[in-house]
């Protein structure tokens, strides 16, 4: 991924937060039949290994667990938001007309070694922890025990667990760091007016962090 220095995210905790808050990742693998991409919700154990461990599950009918081997290199892409930026939102555009459209976004690329888990206890643990995380903000969280035991046991036989030890985390926050503060603020407020609070607020945070500097 091309990352100019001013867009580089190097804070591991913030990259972990991006994954936790946006667990649906794109798992990209290189197989003998070419590249395969799967959209999968992931758990991350941030304290395991130096950069953390990702866990998820796939259907046993998914060819992925047959197309690659344990310890093969894989890439998982996470995104916490994106937004088109119109030049008309920049105050300087109305002064010198030297602005063009762009796209802002926050992404994390996690590279690592994959391992497939077929032990029922391990798979059950992944499903249980993932369910607990995703149901945490619900008024009446669903639990695995809410489903009939035989029904759940049958479903667990139809999935394969995934474990990825992260070997590299690459973050990119493209939020207008190459623009002057007034232009960042103008674009951020335009996004907020369109209910894109994720990118809009992230851009405003740049101003708070660098209020004494011209970015």
Q: Which residues are 72's β-sheet partners?
A: none
Q: Which range among 151-160, 167-176, 187-196, 203-212 shows the weakest confidence by mean pLDDT?
A: 203-212
The pLDDT of residue 212 is 52
- Has residue 49 been placed in a domain? yes
User: Which is more confident, 79 or 93?
Assistant: 79
Domain count within the chain: 1
- What's the confidence (pLDDT) of residue 211? 65
Tell if the pTM clears 0.75, that is, is over it: yes
Domain limits at 58?
A: 5-82+104-178
Q: Which of 132, 1, 107, 3 is nearest to 55 (CA)?
A: 132
Q: What is the mean pLDDT of residues 94-121?
A: 95
Q: For residue 154, is it within any domain? A: yes
Is residue 199 situated within a structural domain?
no
Give residue 207's pLDDT. Answer: 86
User: What is the CB-side half-sphere exposure of residue 63 using CA atoms within 13 A?
Assistant: 10
pLDDT for res 215: 45
What was the pLDDT predicted at 209? 76
| CATH code, domain carrying 143 | 2.30.110.10
In a domain, 212, yes or no: no
User: d(Cα 41, Cα 23) in Å, to the nearest integer?
Assistant: 5
Give helix 120-135 / helix 149-156 axis angle, nearest 10°: 110
Q: Which residues pair with 162 in a beta bridge?
A: 56, 116
């Amino acid at each position: 991924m091309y990352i100019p220095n001013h867009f580089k995210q190097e804070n591991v905790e913030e990259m972990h937060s991006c994954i936790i808050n946006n667990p649906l990742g794109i798992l990209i693998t290189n197989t003998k039949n070419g590249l395969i991409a799967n959209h999968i919700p992931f758990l991350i154990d941030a304290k395991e290994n130096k950069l953390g461990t990702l866990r998820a599950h796939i259907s046993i009918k998914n060819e992925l667990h047959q197309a690659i081997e344990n310890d093969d290199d894989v890439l998982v892409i996470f995104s916490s938001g994106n937004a088109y930026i119109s030049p008309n939102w920049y105050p300087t555009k109305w002064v010198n007309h030297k602005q063009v459209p762009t796209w802002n976004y926050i992404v994390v690329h996690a590279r690592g070694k994959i391992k497939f888990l077929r032990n029922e206890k391990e798979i059950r643990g992944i499903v249980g922890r993932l369910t607990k995380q995703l149901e945490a903000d619900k008024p009446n969280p669903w639990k695995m025990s809410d489903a009939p035991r035989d029904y759940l046991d049958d479903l667990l036989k139809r999935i394969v667990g995934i474990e990825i030890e992260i070997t590299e985390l690459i973050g990119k926050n493209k939020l207008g760091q190459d623009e002057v503060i007034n232009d960042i603020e103008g674009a951020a407020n335009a996004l907020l007016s369109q209910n894109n609070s994720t990118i809009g607020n992230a851009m405003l945070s740049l101003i708070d962090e660098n209020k004494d500097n011209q970015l």
